[in-house]
């Protein structure tokens, strides 16, 4: 395919409730959408970079800038581009994996729409629906947290993930266990602890958690390996894993026994699939993380989560857990599952009237 041009669109999506993590509180998700236009088809993708560089170094304005200045011109200069070529063409530009992922995904969407093939079929999905978990933010009080968890369990979510930080860890976990019993439960620290906290984190072992996600800093692989030797709770890495090479290093070091795969964080669905294949070959369980995506990003994530190595429920929650109005027809939980879209490409398209109402800027980058 020859790329005719690329549209960068910024939208502001109000969250149904503020989402608090150890790195900050999100009230409105500011999303960068990418639309790649080719003579055969158009492709859509969502860049998962957040408004501020607090989860990782990338942020939405920075992603738009690197796309506009360097990445889109490199792609549109080529007479022929497909999804496999995108990674090679963008390889000279260091880092910026979320920006690269969005461009590769939009090209892949266009290519699959032209071929009439779904993301699930292309990636190797082994199921037509996936079990879903939900990520529950840090709250002001334990009763408020218990109310939120109660509501999610009533909706049918298959596992609960509690965001933790120093001062909000043992007590919320204890309270949720006491109230809801033996539910599948895990925690996510978003890098809020250090190895000095090992004795404190070991107290979580008493609660039979599925895993503890990213307890230490992103570049602390060796320290994660040391921590793993001191905890019974399995360690899962999120921020630390930016590539299949990182996953290989983490597995050989013993830094984790479970991996959270986020396609944006690792540079796209092709690298995400490589990590899945590597982990599966090593008996390391994976699950699909989330970045508060709209229906555009969610559609592709749900397809990925249907690969056979995704043996734990992901943070692929229903649209209404995030947004009163999604930009696609809403993803709805049925029996604790979301359906894998079956249509060509990501299988969904933005609803024009919804998109227009929340768009804050549109930029067209011609070839």
Q: What are the residue numbers of the active site?
A: 163, 262
Q: Which of 45, 180, 20, 167 is nearest to 106 (CA)?
A: 45
> Binding to Mg ion by residue 58, rule CB under 5 A?
no
Q: Angle at CA 48, nearest 5°, toward 219 and 272?
A: 65
Which of 210-243 are b and which e, b meaning 16 or more Cβ less than 10 Å from the residue's Cβ? bbbbbbbbbebbebbbbbbeebebbbbbbbbbbe
The residue (of 55 and 152) whose beta carbon lies closer to ligand OSB is 55
What is the C-alpha to C-alpha distance for residues 32 and 50, in angstroms, rounded to an integer?
A: 9
What is the C-alpha to C-alpha distance for residues 212 and 176, in angstroms, rounded to an integer?
A: 15
Write out the binding residues for Mg ion, residues 276-305 only, by CB under 5 A: none
In the complex, least distance from residue 122 CB atom to ligand OSB, rounded to whole angstroms? 23
What does 292 bind: ligand OSB, Mg ion, none (CB cut-off 5 to 8 Å by kind)?
A: ligand OSB
What does 315 bind: ligand OSB, Mg ion, none (CB cut-off 5 to 8 Å by kind)?
A: ligand OSB
Collapsed DSSP state (helix, strand, coil) of residue 301: helix
In the complex, least distance from residue 19 CB atom to Mg ion, rounded to whole angstroms? 12
What does 133 bind: ligand OSB, Mg ion, none (CB cut-off 5 to 8 Å by kind)?
A: none
The residue (of 133 and 295) whose beta carbon lies closer to Mg ion is 133
Q: 136 - beta bridge partners?
A: 162
Given CA atoms 20, 21, 23, 28 in this order, what sign does their dihedral have? Answer: negative
What does 256 bind: ligand OSB, Mg ion, none (CB cut-off 5 to 8 Å by kind)?
A: none
What does 55 bind: ligand OSB, Mg ion, none (CB cut-off 5 to 8 Å by kind)?
A: ligand OSB
The residue (of 315 and 349) whose beta carbon lies closer to ligand OSB is 315
**Contact yes or no for 265/84 (Cβ under 8 A):** no
The residue (of 25 and 252) whose beta carbon lies closer to ligand OSB is 25
In the complex, least distance from residue 134 CB atom to Mg ion, rounded to whole angstroms? 13
What does 38 bind: ligand OSB, Mg ion, none (CB cut-off 5 to 8 Å by kind)?
A: none
Cβ atoms within 10 Å, residue 197: 16
Sole window of 32-40, 207-215, 229-237, 320-328 interacting with Mg ion (rule: CB under 5 A): 207-215
**Contact yes or no for 13/50 (Cβ under 8 A):** no
Collapsed DSSP state (helix, strand, coil) of residue 284: coil
In the complex, least distance from residue 153 CB atom to ligand OSB, rounded to whole angstroms? 16
Given CA atoms 246, 252, 256, 257 in this order, what sign does their dihedral have? Answer: positive
Start-to-end Cα distance in the chain: 13
Residue nearest to Mg ion according to CB distances in the complex: 238
Task: Give how many residues touch Mg ion by CB under 5 A.
Answer: 3
Which of 284-303 are b and which e, b meaning 16 or more Cβ less than 10 Å from the residue's Cβ? bbbbbbbbbbbbbbbbbbbb
The residue (of 236 and 340) whose beta carbon lies closer to ligand OSB is 236
Q: HSE (CB half, 13 Å, CA atoms) of 10?
A: 15
**Chain residues in the site for ligand OSB (CB under 6 A):** 55, 135, 188, 190, 238, 289-292, 315, 317
In the complex, least distance from residue 99 CB atom to Mg ion, rounded to whole angstroms? 20
Q: Which of 26, 218, 220, 238 binds Mg ion (CB under 5 A)?
A: 238
> Binding to Mg ion by residue 188, rule CB under 5 A?
yes
In the complex, least distance from residue 204 CB atom to ligand OSB, rounded to whole angstroms? 17
The residue (of 102 and 237) whose beta carbon lies closer to Mg ion is 237
The residue (of 268 and 289) whose beta carbon lies closer to Mg ion is 289
Residue nearest to ligand OSB according to CB distances in the complex: 290
What is the C-alpha to C-alpha distance for residues 125 and 122, in angstroms, rounded to an integer?
A: 8
Write out the binding residues for Mg ion, residues 130-159 only, by CB under 5 A: none
Cβ atoms within 10 Å, residue 141: 9
In the complex, least distance from residue 332 CB atom to ligand OSB, rounded to whole angstroms? 15
Q: Where does this chain bind Mg ion (CB under 5 A)?
A: 188, 213, 238
């Amino acid at each position: 395919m020859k790329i005719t041009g690329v549209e960068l669109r910024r939208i502001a999506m109000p969250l149904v409730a503020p989402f608090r993590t150890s790195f900050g509180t999100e009230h409105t998700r500011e999303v960068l959408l990418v639309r790649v236009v080719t003579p055969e088809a158009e492709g859509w993708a969502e860049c998962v970079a957040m408004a501020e560089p607090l989860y990782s170094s990338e942020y939405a304005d920075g992603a738009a800038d690197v796309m506009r200045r360097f990445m889109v011109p490199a792609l549109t200069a080529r007479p022929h581009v497909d999804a496999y070529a995108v990674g090679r063409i963008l390889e000279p530009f260091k880092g910026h994996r979320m920006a690269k992922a969005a461009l590769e995904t939009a090209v892949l969407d266009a290519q699959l729409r032209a071929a009439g093939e779904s993301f699930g079929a292309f990636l190797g999905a082994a199921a037509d629906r996936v079990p879903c978990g939900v990520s529950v933010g840090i709250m002001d009080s334990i009763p408020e947290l218990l109310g939120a968890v109660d509501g999610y369990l009533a909706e049918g979510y298959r596992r609960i993930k509690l965001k933790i930080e120093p001062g909000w860890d043992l007590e919320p976990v204890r309270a949720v266990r006491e109230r809801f019993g033996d539910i599948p439960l895990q925690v996510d620290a978003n890098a809020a602890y250090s190895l000095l906290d090992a004795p404190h984190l070991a107290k979580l072992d008493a609660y039979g958690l599925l895993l503890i996600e990213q307890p230490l800093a992103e570049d602390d692989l060796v320290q994660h390996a040391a921590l793993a030797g001191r905890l019974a709770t399995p360690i899962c890495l999120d921020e630390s894993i930016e590539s299949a090479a990182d996953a290989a290093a983490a597995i050989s070091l013993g830094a984790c026994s479970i991996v959270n795969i986020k396609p944006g964080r690792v540079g796209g669905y092709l690298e995400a699939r490589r990590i899945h294949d590597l982990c599966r070959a090593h008996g390391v369980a994976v699950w699909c993380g989330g970045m508060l995506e709209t229906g555009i990003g969610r559609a592709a994530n749900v397809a990925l989560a249907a690969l056979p190595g995704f043996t734990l429920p992901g943070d692929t929650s229903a649209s209404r857990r995030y947004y009163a109005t999604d930009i696609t027809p809403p993803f709805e939980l049925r029996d604790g599952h979301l359906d894998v879209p079956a249509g060509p490409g990501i299988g969904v398209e933005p609803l024009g009237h919804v998109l227009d109402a929340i768009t804050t800027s549109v930029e067209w980058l011609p070839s």
